[in-house]
Structure 1
């Protein structure tokens, strides 16, 4: 297995992915945007989320070819990812959602230990798209968690202010 690292600044929308000290990729996601741009080892992808209540994400190459789709579960703990007709299964490994694993039918295994601003990714594959998709799902669930918290706490906060 090889280990990659990612970092994200406090107010940054970009995850920077490193192998050792060399930046090899990035995932740029505007907060609450439906589109994200990703790049790794010179290969570029776009993640486009669609839907409102039952969301899914389509993955496109730089030339606009559809190469993948991500389906999320309702509890924000798992995802099924289809990339170039291969299936991968993403899930959190801890109650605190700080560790996740993505396993593929092709024996791909990607594990990550994360916090809000950095993380390590241990992988047995060089498949850039699989690695970027795993990181994308993590970011998607973090954004959804923030959105739920805002939706719950703003009405509580405003009602106590009156």
Structure 2
């Protein structure tokens, strides 16, 4: 049975709100200058703690037990990520749309989640009830959005300075 979750994000801070049947069921709240976040979705509460330069990986902590339940490893060159659960299962996050408006989380067997977005909202269509995977897909998308923003913020002043020196 497919589960549909609507989401909206705040462009300024990147936070998400999750809705089912028109009622808010969860949220993802990011730190101000980090790619770490807190999330609540129905009865689940997770903390995402990013580590390494360019946030090369993120530990996912179950806030009820304070145990690490997953690690997300990023492949920034290919816009892919691997979600490794502590039970040994692995899922791949990847962008599937030409304009980065669609992405998936899948084990390529029996669990598949599809994300679509338009502007600052979208839909999650999931054939699994795994709330961690649903949240992780949005979290990873935002990590890549933040990396792109930082890259642009670093490159634009260099290009501008270089252009102004030649005039």
Give the structure-1-normalised TM-score.
Answer: 0.91
Query: Is 1:16 matched up with 2:21?
Result: no
Per the alignment, in what secondary structure is the counterpart of residue 142 of structure 1? helix
Unaligned runs of 5+ in 2: none
Structure 2 contact 3–129 (Cα < 8 Å) conserved: no
| Gaps in structure 1 of 5+ consecutive residues | none
Counterparts in 2 of 1:95 and 1:32: CA distance versus 1, 3 Å = farther
SS of the residue 1:140 aligns to:
helix
Distance in 2 separating the partners of 1:24 and 1:54: 28
Distance 2:96 2:14 in 1: 25
Match of 2:70 among 68, 75, 88: 68
Where does 1:35-50 land on structure 2 (aligned, <5 Å)?
A: 35-50=36-51
Q: Secondary structure at the match of 1:129?
A: helix
Question: Conserved in 2, the CA contact under 8 Å of 1:5 and 1:119?
Answer: yes
Output the CA distance in 1 between the equivalents of 2:28 and 2:142: 9
Deviation at 1:90, TM superposition (A): 0.9
Query: Given that residues 7 and 122 in structure 2 are in contact (C-alpha distance below 8 angstroms), is that contact kept between their aligned partners in structure 1?
Result: yes
RMSD, matched Cα: 1.8
Q: Which moved more, 1:152-161 or 1:44-53?
A: 152-161
8 Å contact from structure 2 (residues 35, 50) kept in 1: yes
Residues in 2 aligned to 1:76 and 1:19: alpha-carbon distance in whole angstroms: 32
Change (3 A) 1:92 1:36: same
Look up the match of 2:128: 125
Paired residues of 1:2 and 1:124 also in contact (CA < 8 A): yes
- Structure 2-normalised TM-score? 0.88
Q: Residue 52 of structure 1: CA displacement?
A: 0.8
Partners of 1:107 and 1:114 in 2: CA distance: 24
Q: Alpha-carbon deviation of 1:116?
A: 4.5
Query: Conserved in 1, the CA contact under 8 Å of 2:35 and 2:146?
Result: no
- The residue number in structure 2 matching 1:81 is 83
